[in-house]
Amino acid sequence: MIRKTENIWFSPYNIHYHIQEAKKLVGGEKFAKDRKWKRAREAHVAMIVALGFYRLEKKPAYIQLPKKDPPDAIMMWESQEKKGEYTMLDLEITSYKSGQETFLEQLKRGKAPEKHIFSSDTSIVFQIQDYEGIDVQNVIDYLSEIDAPFAIWLILKKQIHPDTIVEFTSIDKYGSKKISLNIGEALKLFIGEKHSPILHMERVGNINKVGKSKLPFTHQKPPWET
């Protein structure tokens, strides 16, 4: 089945630029709380996921925000084995705050009951404030028990100034990986390795492949306005 998406895909670097411009325009507090900026906040989370994925898998990933959710965002990257073939992954973005229930209890009640809601085409992304209530090994054991085809990613902001540093944890039924990610350094690395800030994708003669062209940095509106 060929999936229909928009043609424009945004790099983490481009998304970061537009987020900083939005914060200058409305202020950081309004950006963080106003419902009007919900899609922009989801773009910010997706940007962190793309940078974490790039760090873990060495694959530059690009983001798109569908006009209707689910999903909240789509991440796309090119196959390193087959040029012109791309993988897409839906991102389901949510949060966990410790207190009334453990992370695993929330997971079972909501996004990951025993009868799967999501397939391997989706990863569930949780923004967390701390690790209280989260037993990673218990989560791994549960995902293994239900043979979950999807992964779970945790994003924890550890530091805002002078650099933004997040902890990025990837969990699936096989185990977990945790990295510390300096957002500024990760963005510089992405651009330093000459990955395009924006990609324009369109299907070519082979139905399983797409052609890509690089677009100038200022070509497009922010992803949440397209």
Encode pLDDT of 161-219 as tens digits: 888 899 999 999 999 999 999 999 999 999 888 888 888 876 544 444 445 555 555 55
Q: 74: buried, middle or exposed (CB in 10 Å: 19+, 13-18, 0-12)?
A: buried
- Percent of the chain residues past pLDDT 90, beyond the cut: 70
Return the pLDDT at 217.
Answer: 55
Q: Residue 182 class from Cβ within 10 Å (0-12 exposed, 13-18 middle, 19+ buried)?
A: middle
Among 40-49, 102-111, 211-220, the minimum mean pLDDT is found in 211-220
Residue 81: per-residue pLDDT:
75
Give one word for 138, left, alpha or beta, with left for phi > 0 and alpha for psi -120 to 50: alpha
With a cut of 50, say whether residue 93 has pLDDT above it. Answer: yes
Residue 109 predicted with pLDDT over 90: yes
**How many angstroms separate the CA atoms of 165 and 144, rounded?**
30
pLDDT for residue 204 = 47
Question: For residues 13 and 191, is the Cβ–Cβ distance under 8 A?
Answer: yes
Please state, for a pLDDT cut of 70, what percent of the chain lies above it: 90
pLDDT at 116: 94
pLDDT of residue 159: 85
Lowest-confidence segment of 80-84, 148-152, 168-172, 196-200 by average pLDDT: 80-84
Answer for the pair 102, 92: CB distance below 8 angstroms, yes or no: no
Whole-number Cα distances in Å, 54 to 12, 39, 59, 88, 193: 10, 22, 5, 14, 12
Is the model's pTM score more than 0.85? Answer: yes
Lowest average pLDDT, out of 83-92, 154-163, 198-207, goes to 198-207
- Please tell me the predicted confidence (pLDDT) of residue 1: 42
- What are the boundaries of each domain within the chain? 8-204
Q: How many beta carbons lie within 10 A of that of residue 191, not counting itself? A: 15
Residue 20 has pLDDT above 80, yes or no: yes
Closest CA to 36 of 25, 47, 48: 25
Whether the Cβ atoms of residue 51 and residue 62 lie closer than 8 Å to each other: no
The mean pLDDT of 92-100, rounded to a whole number, is: 94
Average pLDDT, the chain: 89
pLDDT of residue 7: 84
Joined together, the tokens standing for residue 98 give 């410790």
- Higher-pLDDT residue of 112 and 2 is 112
What pLDDT does residue 207 have?
41
Residue 197 exposed, middle or buried by CB count within 10 Å (0-12, 13-18, 19+): buried
CA distance to 4, 89, 163, 173, 196, per residue, from 114 (Å): 30, 21, 40, 13, 40
Average pLDDT over residues 50-67: 94
